[in-house]
Amino acid sequence: MSRASGILMHITSLPQEEGIGTFGSKAYEFADFLKATDQQYWQILPLGPVGYGNSPYQAFSAFAGNPYMIDLYKLVEEGLLPKDENIVLSKIGNDSSKVDFETVTPLKLKLLHKAYEASKQNPEIMEAIEEFKEENASWLMDYSLFMAIKNEFDEVSWQEWDPLLKCRDKATLSRYREKLKDQIEFWIFVQYEFFKQWYELKEYVNGLGIKIIGDIPIYVSADSSDTWAQPELFKLDEDCNPITVAGCPPDAFTEDGQLWGNPIYDWGYLEATNYKWWVERMKQNAKLYDMIRIDHFRGFESYWEVPFGETTARNGQWTKGPGIKLFNAINKELGDVAIIAEDLGFITDEVIELREKTGYPGMKILEFGFDPEGESEYLPHNCNKESVAYLGTHDNETIVGWMQDPGNKRALAFAKKYLRLTKKEGYAWGFIRGLWATPSELAIAQMQDILGLDNTARMNIPSTVGDNWNWRIKEDALTEEISSKLKRLTKIYGRKVEKDAKRSTEN
């Protein structure tokens, strides 16, 4: 990898006229902005269908896509929605700076149902959907049945379903497949449109010379088609309830630790199957993205598991993960997959050793680096070449929010000296300059930091549910001044692909 840079902004944060960012025109315009400013990467969050709390890290499936990212205007172009349909969905929610999930979700779903009904009259689309079914049979049918049943039972978790349905009694499943046949076909149609639109967008982005960095959580949601359809992959009891769940131990930030609640993998079973499910998951994501960031990489070395029913993560324990065996299996089946290891949190020598064995670049978070007490590994000059440097991630404060935090007063004073921050340049831009100057081959800035926004634009506050995942960029935010500043820094710090260098490489 040559020196490069990019921007982290999720699809839902785009300013599309549907109350939520989609694969529509604004996504293409953002790709043009990346090209115009010489960025080579666009990083996004997971694309899965979100459940309670709207977190992309708690999806209904590890393989399916989020229906609400489908662009309705494209469905008009396909003839699946009438041109006079009122889909100028800026009417959905009055705050253009946030996604109003409660309003967007039912209204978009209603229009997707309308498009589905129209698709039944289009033989070409119906034929394409049949091909899509065959290509994605390993997960699509279970997911579509799962979603149809959830809809039938007012969206309650599958663990609250009737015991025969919950634990997949064959006769019961057969009865529901027949009863909910049309609903199942609807969810298949939705996935067909999602992937069709995504691959069209990806082709355009790649055509500009820009690569997409995707993101996958290490765990799947407890309320997901994965846990329901393949319980043998997880540590579940005979009643299909989790035996243990995932989390993080207590630390300086959370005295009770973090109780995530995700079911734990049965790594023994997975090893006996040559990690087939994980290989299929990585294969799917390698098609979706050009590079994959794996969240909570340390969990592959050892993970914190907590007895099911605990109210905090205090009474958990460290348990050994699959280690290098998993990644050897992935490499054997798929070859070299471009992966970023999110090696943050409680990191031991064993975790570092595993990452080094894989050869994957780790992450450096500059917000963590400006400790005046010592030489932090996250200070810009300590970032190693084989790493990806960030000011912060979706889980951190924006850089302006970090500067405004009274608890960071001494760290900010140190940063001002280290980076030679000035009001004339703008403190936020001074931090971006420091990020772009790191030895790290790849540097990624959140769009909120490019815009100099405070913590009201923060994407997520870990261990909280409510006002998360809903930030949106405003229509006129990407000014000519921002574009020129970003382009200038990218050139100064050697993160631009020079035409001559590209031509010599091709020769």
How far is residue 298's CA from residue 247's CA, in Å, rounded to a whole number? Answer: 12
| Tally of CB atoms within 10 A around 100 | 15
Give the whole-angstrom CA distance, residue 461 versus residue 396: 7
Active site residue 342: yes
Length of the chain in terms of residues written: 507
Which residues are CB-contacts of 384 (< 8 A; sequence separation ≥ 6)? Answer: 364, 439, 440
Is 100 among the residues known to form the active site? no
For 282, the token pair is: 């990585």
With a CB cutoff of 8 Å and minimum separation 6, the contacts of 437 are 380, 493
The DSSP secondary structure of 350-369, one letter per residue, reads HHHHHHHHHT--EEEEGGGT
Spacing of C-alpha 125 from chain mean position: 29
Distance, in Å, from the CA atom of 383 to the CA atom of 388, rounded to the nearest integer, reads 9
356 catalytic per annotation: no
Q: How many CA atoms lie within 13 A of 14 on its CB side?
A: 26
Single out the residue of 85, 89, 120, 74 nearest to residue 15, CA to CA: 89
Instruction: Name the token pair of 14.
Output: 């785009």
CA 473 from centre of chain: 17
Residue 67 sits at the vertex; the CA angle it makes with 61 and 70, to the nearest 5 degrees, is: 140
| Nearest by Cα to 388 from 447, 459, 445, 453 | 445
Name residue 329's amino acid: A
Measured CA to CA, the distance from residue 428 to residue 362 in angstroms comes to 24
Please report the DSSP string for 83-131 in residue order.
Answer: TTS---GGGSSS-TTB--HHHHHHHHHHHHHHHHHHHTT-HHHHHHHHH
One of 226, 342, 343, 441 is an active-site residue; which one?
342
Which of 295, 343, 397, 441 is catalytic? The answer is 295
What six digits make up the tokens of 52? Answer: 């309670």
Q: Report helix, strand or coil for 416.
A: helix
Please say whether the beta carbons of 139 and 225 come within 8 A: yes
Distance between CA atoms of 147 and 394, rounded to whole angstroms? 28
Given the DSSP bridges, would you call strands 339-341 and 362-365 parallel, antiparallel or unpaired? unpaired
| Cα 56 from Cα 226, distance rounded (Å) | 15
Positions annotated as catalytic residues are 295, 342, 395
